A and B are shown apart, each in its own frame.
Chain A
Amino acid sequence: MDYSQFLFMREELSLLAVILIIFIADLFMSKEPRDGKPAQGSSIGIVACILLGIHTLANLVPFCEDMKIEQTAFGGMYVHTAMMTIVKSVLNVGTLVVFLMANGWLQRAENRVKQGEFYIITLFTVLGMYFMISSGHFLMFFIGLELASVPLAALIAFDKWRYESAEAGAKFILLALFSSALLLYGVSLIYGITGTLYFGQIGAILTGLSDNLLLAVLGLTLFIAGMGFKISLVPFHLWTADTYEGAPTVVTGYLSVVSKGSAAFVLMTVLMKAFADTTLSSQWNIGLFWLIVASITIANIFAIQQKNLKRFMAFSAISQAGYLVLAVMGGTAQGMTALVYYLLVYMVADLGVFAILNVVEQKSGKICMDDYNGLYETNPKLAFLMTLCLFSLAGIPPFAGMFSKFFVFMAAFNAGYQWLVLIALVNTVISLYYYLLIVKAMYINKSDSPVPAFKSDAYTKIALVICIAGVVLAGIIGVAYNYIDTFAYGME
């Protein structure tokens, strides 16, 4: 066996080392309750954040000679391109921000004993996403997908004593299993037609296929439906709002960004590789067209009516997922750059909002839109930072959100989907309305009992600094987009 192929899996091995170190450290750092006193919090949180920070920095940029060459390991099961390193770095940064946010929540009395579990389970979902992103074979893809979604159910049901958390977990796991079954049935049909499960070989066999074309389209449809559940595109979005509302706020932030973003990228790479045939690609483009229109429009309509901010962010996330998938249309290199850049910008803005929602919920227990009335009077800094993040989500010019939306629209426009871009543009204006509802609540609406003034903990401050730096700088510094663009590849 050639051991040098492990070198391509640098990110996975590094993350696995981080998980193992945290696992062992947790074993020795956790303190037993003694003499009738409750268990004290261990400092595993600092260890986890520092280790993940080191892991992020060590694997931040790809360092291979040729940017667009695919490196394969284990007979093509594992595929690595430079772009995948960039996507993994984006996921790392997102997870790091989530860890920083989580600290205050994990220090509460009922969570202290299970701090270590939170970090380990979360990192295992990240590992699953890594394998899913780098898969070259449907088996690897499926194992990665399940490694990413099964521990997520445990994370959603993490608040053991809160009923909503268990209900959200139940809804998530049942629909995740259902969508996996649909996806697998699609994959089995593809296997029946082609006799292989390697993406590259499937692509080669399906090209120019004349008989069995209908079966291939059925398999493709089931595959897209299964992925649609994971990305929560509209006809498959019904679990999203309930799960997001019931899950702990930190986990909601993680779900809405990291798990969604990785699934969108994988959808793009698999469609580009395995279903690149012209007949099939026109089919999935039509399918995605309607999914995107439905996601963006319907999610916007529902978001306007929400009072609970976690539900609100759920519908906002569905609508943003529509924009993410918009970059998949046509499967161009420009689209891939736009997708990764959009993911980065959306991640910092969305996690910024969630960091503030989380810290307000921890300090005052309030999560509804009306509770944010008069936040500017008591916590002006938080209100200002929240406004920046919401402006970026809505796509108001100086912030990164506007640039990322622009690049996605450019990619879809160049791929020949002008009408879709028009619909998405109209929806951007609608989304501006409901994002500004929160800004209005914070600045203009008066409240008799606003959220009292409080100081956030240091971890939340660091998380907010990372998010705001991303929101403000990622748009102005154009290097980021150009840098990502050097790694992008498209169909043909």
Chain B
Amino acid sequence: MIQLNYILILSAVMMFAGIFGFLTRRSTLAILLSIELMLNATDLNFAVFNRMLWQDGHEGYFFALFSIAITAAESAIAIAIMINVYRQLKDISVGKLEKMKF
């Protein structure tokens, strides 16, 4: 069986790849993908902790399920807002979202 450590390392790598993508990507859709990567890392964490460490309950699995559903709703709203931005700017790169800043 695969040890716990390896999966945790995988999820940590996913998490930080997501954070890196969030900070460096220029397209808002790529940023959204990076955030999905981060959220999937947390889901993986929940599932693996439940499977490997705390087998007498299902809290981790259920948390992962709920978090997937909620994340999908959030992405829908985010993409709707992106479409609205695109209608007015004809562009969705973050460099163009700069009408309001310091």
Contacts and interface: CB of A to CB of B under 8 A. Distances in A.
Contacts of B20: none
A241 B70 CA distance: 26
B17 interface: no
Interface string A306-317: 000000000000
Contacts of B54: 191, 195-196
The interface size bin for chain B is 35 or more
Interface in A198-256: 241-242, 245-246
Contacts of B77: 150, 153-154, 173
A169 B31 CA distance: 15
Does more than half of chain B's interface fall in helix, strand or loop, or is it mixed?
A: helix
Interface of B: 15, 18, 22, 28, 31-32, 35, 38-39, 41-42, 45-46, 49, 53-54, 57, 59-60, 62-63, 66-67, 70-71, 73-75, 77-78, 80-82, 84-85, 88-89, 97, 99-102
Interface of A: 138-139, 142-143, 146, 150, 153-154, 157, 160, 163-164, 166-171, 173-174, 176-178, 180-182, 184-185, 187-189, 191-192, 195-197, 241-242, 245-246
B100 A245 contact: yes
B22 A178 contact: yes
Contacts of A168: 100
Given A166-B88, A174-B28, A195 B53 contact: yes
Interface of A is mostly: helix
Contact of A143 (B57, B70, B75): B70
Contact of A139 (B63, B71, B85): B63
A150 B31 CA distance: 17
Contacts of B35: 174, 177-178, 181
B18 A181 contact: yes
Contacts of B49: 188, 191-192, 195
5 contacts: A169-B81, A188-B46, A188-B63, A195-B54, A196-B54
